[in-house]
Amino acid sequence: MSDQEELKQHFAQRVIHQAREVLEVWQQVQRNEWNASYHAALAEANQRLQRFAERFEQAEHHQLALEIEDCLEDIDDNRGRLSSEIIATLSQLIYRLARTGLQNGDPRSPSAQVPSLSKPVYIALEDHERASHVVRQLEFFSMGARAFTSDQEFLAAMHLRHPAAIVMDVDFTGPGEGLKLAERVQQGLEEKLPLIFFSRQDTDTPTRLAAVRAGGLELFTELLDASSLLEKIEIYTRTAYYEPFRVLIIDDSRAQATHTERVLNNAGIITRTLNEPIQAISYLAEFQPDLIILDMYMPECMGTELAKVIRQHERYVSVPIIYLSAEDDLDKQLSAMNEGGDDFLTKPIKPSHLIATVRTRAERARNLKARIVRDSLTGLYNHTHSLQLLEDASARAQRDGTPLCFAMVDIDHFKKVNDTYGHPMGDRVIKSLALFLKQRLRKTDVVGRYGGEEFAIVLPDTTLENACRVLDEIRQRFSEIRFPAQPADLSCTFSGGITQLTSSTDVKLLSQQADEALYRAKNAGRNRVVGFAAVT
């Protein structure tokens, strides 16, 4: 790299720093409520981002900053309040900002693998070679990491910038010293950093207790592989983007519904209001809310009657229903909750109480739904839900006239992995590929576990040529991952088959075509990607 290019990359890092400030303000809004101070902080951070991005020729960042500025102007026009439309737009812009790097171009191209906005993970292990190995492996999963060889170096880095998480050897720089160092850096922090400990040997209860007291959330022993580590880091770190909760408000009183809507919007929650309860089912199908707020007494029907109707539809059995009513008779409240409700809030209610209840209920509902539609080992969508999402994506693609590809991926010689290294290692390989696919693909792509060592991938707005290029790049990178094993580290490959939607294909035919392309890839020697259109 020339001196000029190095200088350009150095200054472009300032753009990344400003983008991160925008993300961190939005994170605070997610945990609290929108107000004038957050508006000012977001506007100031975004103005700096816009200025630096223009100066250092980062076109993508500059464009996103302009669009965020438009959203902030919309908030001003809305008397300083958020609306459902603004929340949805801002959330998408923030997500796109979190995914940007220092270069522009086709996000589907291999050159798009550039530094992300996320903070790095700090690795402090007594075995420096092992630490460097973990750093390299995490980079395969698009997660930045930095290894340290001394406590002074680690503390200096902490002083300059806090990480996304810390991985600390309990014996870093000496027996038990890692525990003391970790406890020291956490002191005085308003928000504690996710802390994961490691020990080269199995530990006793006193050591584990000391790790807990030092703020440790996990303690790995003996082996430390990147996929298991990344899985824990993803659990304990908050991403800059999240899908806002969606709440359907059913209330015949427009004034009450508008008040509830404003309260929830200011907490970053997307809402839709329905004043005619008889239309509830059609609204549910279109809006797909995480939670329903239901008035108890309405002219057309009782809230309890509507709750029963909603519960008759299997798709909405697990959607939380909260009654919001002036009814203060405890027996009537309990009776209503026995008829399809999950909670009862009495008017008038403090905004903070309403927001906390909605957030808690909606979060639990999402977690429950995830358990139903996701595979327990990998966290990916299960076979049935993957096909349902493929059907939905196919319908959208045909309606909008956009391309769509479907891929099936299978780990090569997987039986040999299980027979040679055991089923725990086989599970680790499956989980690693699942994480790798999630990290390397877009949020709009659907990744599911089709069964065993086989995966299904739905790629909207993607041609067959681009899909083959992207999946082949992932295949090459995955083959470079090393899994700690005896007598030597293990590496694995996968084969893939891809097909593109046409006007004459349905979900069943797409599955058959992708499966046939996968069969061709296996027969051609494995460790390759084959497109169905290329099969003759």
* 427, 449: one domain: yes
* 397, 517: one domain: yes
The answer to whether 172 and 183 are in contact (CB under 8 A) is no
Q: Which DSSP letter does residue 453 get?
A: T
* 50, 30: one domain: yes
Q: Which DSSP letter does residue 288 get?
A: -
Task: Kindly state whether residue 113 falls inside one of the protein's structural domains.
Answer: no
Task: Kindly state whether residue 241 falls inside one of the protein's structural domains.
Answer: no
- Domain end point (choices 372, 404, 439): 372
Q: pLDDT tens, position by position, for the chain (536 residues)?
A: 455 555 555 566 678 778 878 887 887 777 778 888 989 999 999 999 999 888 888 888 899 999 999 999 999 998 888 899 999 888 888 877 876 653 333 333 333 333 444 678 999 999 998 898 888 878 766 678 999 999 999 999 998 888 989 999 999 999 999 999 998 998 878 778 889 999 988 777 888 898 888 888 888 887 776 667 776 777 676 543 467 899 999 998 889 999 999 999 988 899 999 988 888 888 887 788 999 999 988 888 888 889 998 988 877 888 999 999 888 888 888 888 888 888 899 888 899 999 999 999 998 888 787 778 888 788 788 998 899 889 888 988 988 899 999 999 999 999 999 999 999 899 989 988 998 898 788 878 999 999 899 999 999 999 999 999 999 999 999 998 888 888 788 899 999 999 999 887 788 899 999 999 999 999 999 999 999 964 44
Q: Is 453 a catalytic residue?
A: yes
Task: Kindly state whether residue 112 falls inside one of the protein's structural domains.
Answer: no
CA–chain centroid gap for 454, Å, is: 22
Give me the helix-helix angle, 383-400 and 507-523, nearest 10°: 110
* 391, 515: one domain: yes
* 250, 227: one domain: no
Rounded to two decimals, what is the model's pTM? 0.62
Consecutive H or E run containing 406: strand 404-411
Number of domains in the chain: 4
| Alpha-carbon distances, residue 219 vs 202, 360, 437, 483 (angstroms) | 10, 28, 26, 19
CA distance 486 to 5: 43
* 318, 191: one domain: no
Burial classification of residue 221, based on how many CB atoms lie within 10 Å of its CB (0-12 exposed, 13-18 middle, 19 or more buried): middle
- Domain end point (choices 80, 105, 130): 105
Radius of gyration for the alpha carbons in the chain, expressed in angstroms and rounded: 26
Task: Write down the H helix ranges in 35-83.
Answer: 36-55, 59-77
20 backbone dihedrals φ, ψ, rounded to 5°: -65, -35
Output the domain CATH number for residue 470: 3.30.70.270
* 368, 387: one domain: no
* 229, 265: one domain: no
Q: Which of 60, 126, 261, 453 is catalytic?
A: 453
Which domain, by its residues, includes 358?
A: 246-372
